[in-house]
Amino acid sequence: MSALLTFTDDGIYCPEGDFYIDPWRPVDRALITHGHADHARDGMRRYLATDLAAPVMRHRLGEISLETLRYGERREIGGVTVSFHPAGHVPGSAQIRVERGGEVWVASGDYKLEDDGLSTPFEPVPCHAFITESTFGLPVFKWRPQAEIAEAMNAWWRGNAAEGRASIIGVYALGKAQRLMRMLDPSIGPILTHGAIENTNAVLRAQGIALPPTLRVTPDLVARDHPGAMVLATPSALGTHWPRRFGPAQTALASGWMGLRGVRRRRAADRGFIISDHADWAALNTAIAATGAERVFVTHGYTSIFSRWLSEQGYDAAIVQTAYEGESLDDPDPATGEEAEKAQGTQSPAAAP
């Protein structure tokens, strides 16, 4: 019997259903895990995604042929049954389950296990084969609880505001920005947003996702009218003249890559907050174990290290080359393998707890 899912130059392909999952080249039918640009690309003739991911996809991709499913709802496509299940990554993100005659494969897309209060929490899906990301597939990556990050972030903001400085944080426009908004204490000051972030806010608010009040940054905005503001910007904006309009300010980046020495320095940020919408080392291992899968295919991230570790744990593990980017801080390669090894010292995955 042929493999339920195969790996092609266009993307992850289901021969019996004649569809692709998160393809990176134009195809006839694409099943999409979530709305980030490296997973939901333009040019597909037909799309299928969750109802919660659809508004952002339409915002990004324009007039597309898009059908939706609710979490857990099943659909027969060709000779297989497909369904979407919460991935906990960003609003509407999903793992895609594909079943044929009792055989089940799951493509994870991007995921995290911590309930962020914004996305539908991750749910493990029992399967025989699991396609997992490995963006942070090294033992050095270990996230602190979100409540601790929120406390540190608000303390930083409060201190800056007391000294008459703005606080500027670089974040992704979809998911990370809204997560941070809900972590911030609005009693400290106003929350200002880059246009790309505010456009996404509008889409999410329209579908009923509650966010605190924010103010779009426009060319005529006067910084002195918003003393002690928290400013959420795209990471790329931090490297331009854009932040200068706010006068005295401290800058920060919010990313899992802040867990590696040197990344914050290269991005010239004053502060780094280690927070990611991807699973850390422990969560990757926990998620895979919870599926009960015997076969694991490892995609974007530290694929060679993580797949070798999984093989040592008894899984039938293999690497799959894809065009997904994970969490990149807008850099083509924000953290090299050499830098990661320096960060974790002499500890190898096999020696990790």
Q: How far apart are CA 224 and CA 245, in angstroms?
A: 10
Q: What CATH number should be reported for the domain whose range is 6-141+277-351?
A: 3.60.15.10
Q: How far apart are CA 316 and CA 279, in angstroms?
A: 21
Q: 228: which residues sit within 8 A by CB, 6+ positions away?
A: 157, 160, 161, 162, 164, 165, 166, 167, 188, 189, 190
SS3 string, 244-307, reads HHHCCEEEEEECHHHHCCCHHHHCCCCEEECCCCCCCHHHHHHHHHHHCCCEEEEEEECHHHHH
Give domain limits for the chain.
6-141+277-351, 146-273
- Say what the pLDDT of residue 264 is: 63
Q: Provide the token pair at 77.
A: 């496509």
217 phi and psi angles, rounded to 5 deg: -80, 120
- Say what the pLDDT of residue 75 is: 98
Q: How far apart are CA 11 and CA 274, in angstroms?
A: 31
Place of tokens 């920005």: 177
Answer yes or no: are the C-beta atoms of 98 and 17 closer than 8 Å. yes
Q: Rg for the chain (alpha carbons), in Å?
A: 21
Q: How far apart are CA 26 and CA 332, in angstroms?
A: 23
Strand partners, 129: 105, 295
- Say what the pLDDT of residue 312 is: 98
Cα four-point dihedral sign 174, 175, 180, 182 = positive
Q: Provide the token pair at 8.
A: 């092609």
- Say what the pLDDT of residue 260 is: 86
Q: Provide the token pair at 80.
A: 């297989």
Q: How far apart are CA 3 and CA 24, in angstroms?
A: 21
The pTM of the full predicted model, rounded to 2 decimals, is 0.91
268 phi and psi angles, rounded to 5 deg: 55, 40
Q: What is the pLDDT along the chain (353 residues), one digit of tens a residue?
A: 579 999 999 999 999 999 999 999 999 999 999 999 999 999 999 999 999 999 999 999 999 999 999 999 999 999 999 999 999 999 999 999 999 999 999 999 999 999 999 999 999 999 999 999 999 999 999 999 999 999 999 999 999 999 999 999 999 999 999 999 999 999 999 999 999 999 999 999 999 999 999 999 998 888 889 999 999 999 888 888 889 899 999 999 999 999 887 776 666 688 999 999 999 999 999 999 999 999 999 999 999 999 999 999 999 999 999 989 878 665 333 333 333 333 333 333 433 33
Answer yes or no: are the C-beta atoms of 127 and 293 closer than 8 Å. yes
Please tell me the class of the 146-273 domain: alpha beta
- Say what the pLDDT of residue 350 is: 39
Residue type, 307: S
